[in-house]
Structure 1
Amino acid sequence: MSQLKRKRPDSNSVADSLTEHERVVYDAIRSKQEMGISQRDLKREINLLDKLASKSLKSLQDKNLVRLVPNFQSKGMKHYIAAEFNPSTEITGGAWYTDGSLDSDFIGVLKATCLKFVPNLKVATLEGFVEAVKKSRVSQVELSKKQIEELVESLVCDNELMKVKSTGIGEFASIPVGKVCYKRIDKGNRVSGTMASIPCGVCPQISICTPDGIVSPKTCVYYNTWLDF
């Protein structure tokens, strides 16, 4: 996919409007394309006096040829990009960042959307979460499957969801055997750490399960499948 989004300025008209120093600064910034360049690295590269570099940058901004963009990795440092390019997610931080800062409110809304989706189906796959977020339209940008997975995994870390493996039986009947899926953790009976993924934690027969009983770990289909995982 092309990194260009804006119409590229005509090279002749740009050249005619720039001074010698502005041309040096502009060419250095434009050569970095969607990655842009920090003011510190720019001054090192062009080898101009600070006063001339700063004056040229100001003029290029006034002419709408370069612009400042937030860099979430270096918030206190100015970062420039040629106006014709969109900044890389390596600079902006991607969908989770707004103006260089982590968008906690946006992430919170997306997490809530994922959690709301689970009780309706009891068990959810990653693909189900992707479709749920898409249909909710809470995000103005299209989120990738990888980004949704990051959200879901964070909910596992938050002890809101547990990761399990489908047995193809009961509530897993519509999910292929062995496929990783997710269940909501009951807030009134939370299990943490490794125990959160053991099927015993959500088994309706747990109260009558004993080592030598009719229901036991030795005969449990769910438990044996979990051990194979």
Structure 2
Amino acid sequence: MADVEGTIYSIALEEAQGVDNEQLRDAFPESVQLEAIVNGVNRLLQKGMLELLQVGNQVRYRAVRSDELARLAGLTTDEQLVYKHIQASKNEGIWVRTLKMKTNLLQGVITRALKTLEQKALIKSVKSVKHPTRKLYMLIDMTPSSEITGGPWYTDQELDTDFINQLAKQCYQFIYANSYPKHNPQAIYPASYTGFKTSSQIKRFISGHNITNVDLSDENIEELLTMLVYDGKIERIAAAFEMDAGKTSSSGKDFMYRALRITDKDSPFTDIPCGRCPVFDKCSDTGVITPGKCEYFKKWLSF
């Protein structure tokens, strides 16, 4: 029986998602009875060396590693149950009310279990920026997700508006510097121009110039750019094609960004389309671009 248990445990250790009954049966020669395999699985489950996993409609057996067994040693059944659910929550953490629902344990039992697990330095409590009044629990060595901490935009659970504004300002200045011809800043590039900066290029600029020590993800940069778009400082331009070593390929994932010309804040023209019109210099009483044909004016007047 010991040999059967050892084989089952070894096989399960090799599979992060556990093994099913068919895999276990195929791992043994026909001389080994199915009853012996079933008994071996049950004994390992009783010892806590295996745990059941539900993957879709299939039941699988996951091996509990020796270091994890050592952490669980001395815990009661209820404490182990609470620990397992906290472990399953990974870096998202789990709320006490959710623990109660999943374990069907009394509140007092859960409270004592959490206290014991914290005293043994197995778990920790963290606060969420989304739900400041809730205390979430996760394993002691887990780093909370950005959903909980708020990511780089929060410092000590508070939105760091100064940091956000400074970073957005640097992004805007970089985009503006690459939005208009340097030899004639009053001119504009043709519609076919593909040299405007993308979010990935803006990210490289931020990291390459050591503007911040905070590690910003692609999503963080997109959040900054979206804020600038809503503030009316930049606009997105679909990058239909990009050139790579002489080859043309579709690029629907990454937008290009162009800065909009912003006039003095106190000017009354900032409230009308003309104040930020990219073709203001080409507008006249006659021709293709006129106030009478302006789509921006029509939308602004009907707002």
TM bucket, shorter chain: 0.5 to 0.7
Matched, 1:11 2:11: no
TM-score when scaled to structure 1? 0.68
Contact 2:233–2:261 under 8 Å retained in 1:
yes
Pair 1:211 & 2:262 matched: no
> Is the 8 Å Cα contact of residues 261 and 277 (structure 2) preserved in structure 1?
no
Structure 1 position 153, deviation (Å): 2.2
Distance 2:210 2:115 in 1: 39
Residues 60-105 of structure 1, C-alpha deviations (whole Å, 9 max, x = no match): 1222211112222221111111123333333333333345443323
Q: Which moved more, 1:157-166 or 1:128-137?
A: 157-166
Q: Given that residues 164 and 197 in structure 1 are in contact (C-alpha distance below 8 angstroms), is that contact kept between their aligned partners in structure 2?
A: no
Aligned residues of 1:118 and 1:184 also touching (Cα < 8 A): no
Q: Quick one: which of 215, 219, 228 aligns to 1:155?
A: 228
Matched, 1:74 2:149: no
Name 1:200's counterpart in structure 2.
279
- The letter of the residue matching 2:148 is I
Distance 2:68 2:219 in 1: 39
- Aligned pairs, number: 193
Q: Which moved more, 1:74-83 or 1:111-120?
A: 111-120
1:116 aligned counterpart, secondary structure: helix
Indicate conservation of the 8 Å contact 1:162/1:185, yes or no. Answer: no
Contact 2:172–2:259 (CA<8 Å) still a contact in 1? no
Deviations 1:125-159 (A, max 9, x none): 23442222212434434323332122122112223
Q: Sort the Cα spacing of 1:165 and 1:19 in 2 relative to 1 into closer, same or farther, 3 A.
A: closer
| AA of the residue aligned to 2:289 | P
Please name the residue that 2:154 is paired with.
97
Q: TM-score, normalised by structure 2?
A: 0.53
Q: Matched residue of 1:199: which SS?
A: coil
Instruction: Please say if 1:48 is aligned against 2:105.
Output: yes
What SS does the corresponding residue of 2:129 show, helix, strand or coil? coil
Letter in 1 for 2:279: C
**1-side partners of 2:74 and 2:275: how far apart?**
65
Larger Rg: 2
Higher mean C-alpha displacement, 132-141 vs 58-67: 132-141
Q: 1:186 pairs with 259, 262, 270, which one?
A: 262
SS of the equivalent of 1:34 reads helix
Structure 1 position 33 matched with structure 2 position 33: no
> Could you say which structure has the greater relative contact order, defined with CA pairs below 8 angstroms and 6 or more residues apart?
1
Structure 1's unaligned 5+ residue stretches are 1-7, 167-178, 224-229
Which of 114, 117, 124 is residue 60 of structure 1 equivalent to? 117
Q: Is the 8 A contact 1:37 1:79 kept in 2?
A: yes
* 1:24 pairs with 2:81: yes
Structure 1 match to 2:185: none
Equivalents in 2 of 1:62, 1:185: separation in Å?
59
Q: 1:181 to 1:12 in 2, by over 3 A?
A: closer
Aligned to 1:176: none
CA distance in 2 between counterparts of 1:99 and 1:61 reads 22
RMSD (Å), alpha carbons: 3.3
Residue among 205, 209, 216 paired with 1:132: 205
C-alpha displacement of 1:9: 8.4
Aligned counterpart in structure 1 of residue 140 of structure 2, from 51, 76, 83: 83
Instruction: Tell me which residue corresponds to 1:172.
Output: none
% same residue = 28
- What 5-or-longer segments of structure 2 have no aligned partner? 1-64, 181-195, 240-254, 295-303
| Structure 2 residue identity aligned to 1:199 | P
Q: Is the 8 A contact 1:126 1:149 kept in 2?
A: no
Counterpart residue number, 2:219: 146
Structure with more strand by fraction = 2
